[in-house]
Amino acid sequence: MKEAIVSKGLKVEIVDSPIPKPNADQVLIKVVVSGSNPKDWKLAELRNVTGNAGDDIAGVVQEVGENVIEFKPGDRVGAFHQVLQPHGSYAEYAIAWQHATFHIPPKTTFEEAAAIPLAAMTAVVGLYGHLGLPQPWTPATESMALVIHGASSAVGAYAVQFARKSNIHPLICIAGKSRPYVETLIDRTKGDVVIDYRDGDDAVVEGLKKASAGLKLLYAFDATSEHNSYATVSKVLDEGAKITGVLPPDNYEFPPRISNSVVLVGNIHTTEKDFGFIYFRYITRALQEGWFKAQPQEVVPGGLGGIKKALEDLKAGKAHAVKYVFRIADTEGVA
Ligand SMILES: NC(=O)c1ccc[n+]([C@@H]2O[C@H](COP(=O)([O-])OP(=O)(O)OC[C@H]3O[C@@H](n4cnc5c(N)ncnc54)[C@H](OP(=O)(O)O)[C@@H]3O)[C@@H](O)[C@H]2O)c1
């Protein structure tokens, strides 16, 4: 099979590799569409990791291990491949653990499914695992303001959709160029707003104060976690507030009145497997019910041959409310 190997310098080499074998608890998936994430360039560039960096899989089950009871060959599935392990989604075939695999409803395309796994799981781990907010099946019954910084990013937009399902309002969202997209996700009748980060940190702080007037600000999900976002949001959080982010704070110390944490989505393959199991199945239901939508996708020309350009664009900050995805059949040399 063809497989793309990413290394430092954002070199992408397409090699011939053997088709992997699933173990007892794994699923072998013939990848139809692979998704990408910022970590795909970061691990190569910042940690010098070489390998098949793709973790978002959408495709058809080819083979299952002996303990796999929910999936069978021919099923349309999405999956979150285990980060830093071999046999990722940048290939014709990929391996996923059964707990991190989910059925794709008939109306959901492979492109949509490939845009979901890693980012959506980051959003739900942040909202429910770290912030302890009400689950969608036991929604909030009173006002509960939540700040979502980076609301148009894949992680942020998924957090907005889940928070809304949990009846958490007002959602005080921060976005920039993709502000119109976030407007389509929020409910203005419940006080939700979007503040533009391009107006500068002082304007964001003023916007946060205005949007939360009369309410306690006790929860923040910082899906940006850079460009001074932790400090900006922290300025308005009340005593006892919780903030969770997606990157470790860089040269910023939170004031003692706030507790902070950082999501590590990879934990759903180690210490938080049950969390992943439950939420991936819930995502199938959410897609089928129609209240949860995939981040808009851009199909990058050339299949695996398009990975280099996509990772360069991600690194350059060119992705605005979009997931770069790759149709494996578009790869040169793939039948
Ligand atoms: N810790 C973990 O387990 C984990 C898991 C997943 C992701 N992450 C990290 O989380 C971050 C987001 O990932 P992603 O996949 O959601 O990214 P993404 O979709 O590629 O993010 C793109 C978005 O970032 C927004 N943005 C850029 N600069 C911003 C700023 N100064 N303030 C607010 N928003 C800004 C842009 O908004 P506009 O278009 O509106 O300008 C754009 O839509 C990345 O750093 C990623 O590495 C961590």
- Domain shared by 191 and 86, yes or no: no
> Contact, 191 vs 211, CB < 8 A?
yes
Mutation probe of ligand 1 site: the residue of 41, 149, 155 with most atoms within 8 A of C-beta: 155
Q: State residue 135's pLDDT score.
A: 98
Total domains, the chain: 2
Instruction: Confirm whether 270 is domain-assigned.
Output: no
Q: State residue 125's pLDDT score.
A: 98
Bridge pairing between strands 171-175 and 193-196: parallel
Mutation probe of ligand 1 site: the residue of 40, 147, 153, 173 with most atoms within 8 A of C-beta: 153
Asked which of 265, 285, 311 is the last residue of a domain, the reply is 265
- Ligand 1 centre distance from Cα of residue 223 (Å): 6
- Domain shared by 39 and 111, yes or no: yes
Percentage of the residues of the chain whose pLDDT score is greater than 70:
100
Averaged over 246-268, what is the pLDDT? 97
The average confidence (pLDDT) of the chain is 98
- Ligand 1 centre distance from Cα of residue 71 (Å): 32
- Domain shared by 90 and 211, yes or no: no
CATH number at residue 124: 3.40.50.720
Percentage of the residues of the chain whose pLDDT score is greater than 90:
99
Asked which of 265, 282, 308 is the last residue of a domain, the reply is 265
Report the SS3 class of residue 287.
Answer: helix
- Domain shared by 56 and 43, yes or no: yes
- Domain shared by 89 and 128, yes or no: no
- Domain shared by 250 and 136, yes or no: yes
Which CA distances in Å does 281 have to 114, 277, 302? 15, 7, 32
**For ligand 1, which residues put their CB under 6 angstroms from it?**
37-39, 42, 118-119, 122, 149-150, 152-155, 174-179, 197, 223-224, 227, 229, 246-247, 263-265, 314, 317, 319-321
The 10s digit of each residue's pLDDT in 25-56 is 999 999 999 999 999 999 999 999 999 999 99
CATH number at residue 30: 3.90.180.10
Does the pTM surpass 0.75? The reply is yes
Q: How confident is the model at residue 144 (pLDDT cuts 50, 70, 90)?
A: very high
- Domain shared by 99 and 137, yes or no: no
Q: How far is Cα 98 from Cα 75, in angstroms, rounded to an integer? A: 13
Instruction: Confirm whether 138 is domain-assigned.
Output: yes
- Ligand 1 centre distance from Cα of residue 334 (Å): 32
Q: State residue 33's pLDDT score.
A: 99
Half-sphere exposure of 72 (CA within 13 A, CB side): 1
- Domain shared by 233 and 156, yes or no: yes
Instruction: Confirm whether 287 is domain-assigned.
Output: no
Instruction: Confirm whether 32 is domain-assigned.
Output: yes
- Domain shared by 72 and 194, yes or no: no
The 10s digit of each residue's pLDDT in 9-30 is 999 999 999 999 999 999 999 9
Instruction: Confirm whether 286 is domain-assigned.
Output: no
Instruction: Confirm whether 258 is domain-assigned.
Output: yes
pLDDT higher than threshold 90 for residue 335 = no
**Residue (of 118, 152, 159) closest to 136 by Cα position:** 159
The 10s digit of each residue's pLDDT in 206-217 is 999 999 999 999
Q: State residue 201's pLDDT score.
A: 98
Instruction: Confirm whether 288 is domain-assigned.
Output: no
Instruction: Confirm whether 283 is domain-assigned.
Output: no
Please give the residue range of the domain that contains residue 232: 120-265
- Ligand 1 centre distance from Cα of residue 319 (Å): 9
- Domain shared by 35 and 147, yes or no: no
- Ligand 1 centre distance from Cα of residue 75 (Å): 31
Asked which of 247, 265, 283 is the last residue of a domain, the reply is 265
Interhelix angle 38-47/307-315, nearest 10 degrees? 80
pLDDT higher than threshold 90 for residue 122 = yes
- Domain shared by 138 and 212, yes or no: yes
* Contacts of 238 by beta carbon, 8 Å cutoff, 6+ apart: 216, 217, 218, 257
- Domain shared by 18 and 103, yes or no: yes
Averaged over 146-150, what is the pLDDT? 98
